Amino acid sequence: TQLLEQSPQFLSIQEGENLTVYCNSSSVFSSLQWYRQEPGEGPVLLVTVVTGGEVKKLKRLTFQFGDARKDSSLHITAAQPGDTGLYLCAGGDIHRDDKIIFGKGTRLHILP
Amino acid sequence: EAQVTQNPRYLITVTGKKLTVTCSQNMNHEYMSWYRQDPGLGLRQIYYSMNVEVTDKGDVPEGYKVSRKEKRNFPLILESPSPNQTSLYFCASSLQGRTGGNSPLHFGNGTRLTVT
């Protein structure tokens, strides 16, 4: 069974600081998605990465897919209170193209 | 507006009383899925459907039923709810069930279920 481990589980930092959260596995994934979930809402897709080594930027957020497609990172520059939320990574199961596997999430709190 | 709509948002019920949580999407998506989200356990898939009249078990299907009679609707049925089904439930849909960049999941806003 493919698993995705996210770290850290919780992160609380001051506004303006930079941070990186990680999504790791010993398995290869066909693609990897990052979602953000805010209280009282469902997860919302931020980005999908497909190619090993791929880097995508979304304003102050930078997403990277590992060369071997086993891990990913999300870097936030100059964090703002609006970045607060639960960040979930989700990988496409390489053995079953109808399966997506979720990590347990990183809960991020940005203090004003 | 493209969306996945779940109802109700909150539900408190008693053990054994059958209930249905509805889910509807207006994006003509083929794929629909139900998840439950519990602290420390993350999102776990209950059932999914690749298209009309096609449903399959996810990782935690016990105690749940689903149906897919129409493309837009995918209700979740708990025939005899138990306290261990207390959870936050999400319905999601995507254009196709195949994973990859062209089929991101669109989630509803969740149904918080409490079974006493």
- Chain B residue numbers with beta carbons less than 8 Å from the beta carbon of A30 are 99-100
Contact (CB<8Å) A30/B99: yes
- Assess whether pLDDT exceeds 90 at residue A3: no
A44 band by pLDDT with thresholds 50, 70 and 90: very high
- Chain B residue numbers with beta carbons less than 8 Å from the beta carbon of A40 are 109-110
Contact (CB, 8 A) for A26 and A70 = yes
- Chain A residue numbers with beta carbons less than 8 Å from the beta carbon of B48 are 98
A94 band by pLDDT with thresholds 50, 70 and 90: confident
Please, what is the average pLDDT of chain A?
93
Sheet containing strand B65-66, edge to edge, reads B4-7, B19-25, B76-78, B65-66
Report how far residue B90's alpha carbon sits from residue B104's, in angstroms, rounded to the nearest whole number. 15
Long-range contacts of B43-51 (CB under 8 A, 24+ apart): B43/A43, B43/A88, B43/A102, B43/B90, B46/B76, B46/B89, B47/B76, B48/A98, B48/B97, B49/B74, B50/A98, B50/B97
List of E strands, B9-75: 10-13, 19-25, 31-38, 42-51, 54-57, 65-66
Burial class (CB in 10 A: 0-12, 13-18, 19+), A97: middle
Q: What is the pLDDT of residue A96?
A: 76
Q: What is the pLDDT of residue B2?
A: 84
Contact (CB<8Å) A98/B40: no
* pLDDT tens by residue, A7-34: 999 999 999 999 999 999 999 988 899 9
A106 against A31, higher pLDDT: A106
Q: What H or E segment, with its residue span, contains residue A85? A: strand A85-93
- Sequence-distant (6+) residues with CB within 8 A of A94 are A2, A27, A28, A29, A30
Q: What is the pLDDT of residue B98?
A: 63
Q: A38: helix, coil or strand? A: coil
Q: pLDDT tens per residue, chain B (116 residues)?
A: 889 999 999 999 999 999 999 999 999 999 999 999 999 899 999 999 999 999 999 999 999 999 999 999 999 999 999 999 999 999 999 987 665 555 789 999 999 999 99
- Summarize the confidence of residues A67-88 as an average pLDDT: 96
Whether B95 has its CB under 8 Å from any CB of chain A: the answer is no
* pLDDT tens by residue, B85-106: 999 999 999 987 665 555 789 9
